[in-house]
Amino acid sequence: MMPTRVIGGRYVVLAELGRGGMGIVWRAEDRVMGRHVAVKELHLPDGLVPDDRLLFRERLLREARTAGRLNDPGIVTVYDVVTDNGVDHIVMELIEARTLADVVAASGPLDETVVADIGRQLLAALQTAHQGGVVHRDVKPANVMLAGGGRVKLTDVGIAQAADDPRLTSTGALIGSPGYMSPERLEGGQASPAADLWALGATLYFAVQGTGPFQRDTTAATISAVLHADPPPTRTRGPLGSVITGLLQRSPQTRLSGPQAAMLLAAPGQANSPTQAGGPEPTRLGAPLTERFGAPVRARPWRWVAIAAAVGLLLGLVGGVAGGLALARSGEPDVRLLSYGTGGQVPVFEIGFQYCISTPVVEGTQIASGAIVDCDESHPAELFAVLDTFAYDEQVGYPEGIADYAARGCAMRFESEAVVGDDKADLVATAMYPTEAEFGRTDESGDRYDYRQVFCVLARADGTNIEGTRLAAGG
């Protein structure tokens, strides 16, 4: 009989639940609380020096604390971090459920109504994580758990973020699964909420098709497909199909945002289009859908589905077209100007999406990616538009008129229905444009990457906080 193992003097190991690239997951009993938990034993790459192991432990503790504060029914709760015999362990809520990967492997692709509900719950979980300053980095079918009653849980929140450091991955380890990593991440860009959303699109594609959109026989071929191939069409053409297509846009600027995707999936009804060829028939899980997700709803006519999809995608395409129209305007727009990036008035600005911001956007501030707040809360600023200048791979010098472009583009967006309210006299718009150093900046691989955008920020003219939001629905 195998002797009883106790992790950290508290968690009695009962059985192995699974294992993967980052370690082993054990079922254990918490002696103190008297409950069963999941304990993830983390395995770091071989050859790490003690300083790097200490770095990982510090980051793990920090990210686990952050993840532990996230409160969403779709996120697996983190209870504790324990070091036992020099090995780090994450203690988590135990979910008695199979993963999406296991369910599809056993039963085939899922019914699109089931997948749409999975998408809604995962979007809500990711919104909570992103607003809490956590980027998942490893959204994939194996990290999505399908529990009883139609509940969906996203696991490993915060763990991949702790491990994603160049000093910890110098041995060649890749944090994330290539088929579910966004193109910008594979090209060396930083992880971002948009990268999580791309991974969600690939995960939903897998759920409805039974295979990943870029799955190939080798890792190298999979990476090449993500970077260069178009995803094959899905069997669904309703709102779910529009969301998958919108999330799998190669450019983060044209990709659907979380609120836009949620708006499409929350629309009344789902399109009942014929199943396309190219995959097995979908499987309906467990109880009838009326028991799992409530009473059925009537499908909308296809033309309204198409309109909703077009609106969602157009809301994401806030780049060159808007900017080009803005340059055709005449007169001086009443917009404040701030430069951002290296040598700029705002040295750091990492909010690349239409979100509410917890920090005033004024000269001298640094706005990191975690400075996102729920728009229902009182907040000092809102990012209401993102405008492209030039594509990141275009070989162009710093444009002389970029500040004027920014002012006019943001003025046009401010005066449009992107900002709601008939009287906008209480508001002020700030156009943020990249400095010359930021415009020409490259990533660690030497490639240019998305440092050329203009950001349009909204605030109250008297400096007080905004209550609610002034952004249009879905924006």
Task: Give the residue numbers annotated as catalytic, written as ranges.
Answer: 138
Question: What does the alpha-carbon distance between residue 187 and residue 168 come to, in Å, rounded to a whole number?
Answer: 18
Candidates 182, 263, 118, 53; CA nearest to 449 is 182
Angle value at C-alpha 212, between 206 and 214, nearest 5 degrees: 150
Angle at which helix 193-209 crosses helix 112-131, to 10 degrees, equals 160
Candidates 473, 226, 419, 438; CA nearest to 348 is 438
Contacts of 471 (CB under 8 A, 6+ apart): 354, 356, 375, 382, 384, 418, 419, 420, 458
Contact 374, 131 (CB under 8 A): yes
Q: In what order do the strands lie in the sheet with 35-42?
A: 6-7, 11-20, 23-30, 35-42, 87-93, 78-84
Contact 289, 149 (CB under 8 A): no
Candidates 283, 267, 122, 305; CA nearest to 202 is 122
DSSP assignment letter at 332:
-
Contact 10, 28 (CB under 8 A): no
Contact 283, 269 (CB under 8 A): no
Candidates 238, 292, 300; CA nearest to 121 is 292
Question: What does the alpha-carbon distance between residue 372 and residue 455 come to, in Å, rounded to a whole number?
Answer: 15
Contact 103, 156 (CB under 8 A): no
- Cβ atoms within 10 Å, residue 349: 26
Residues β-bridged to residue 145? 99, 153
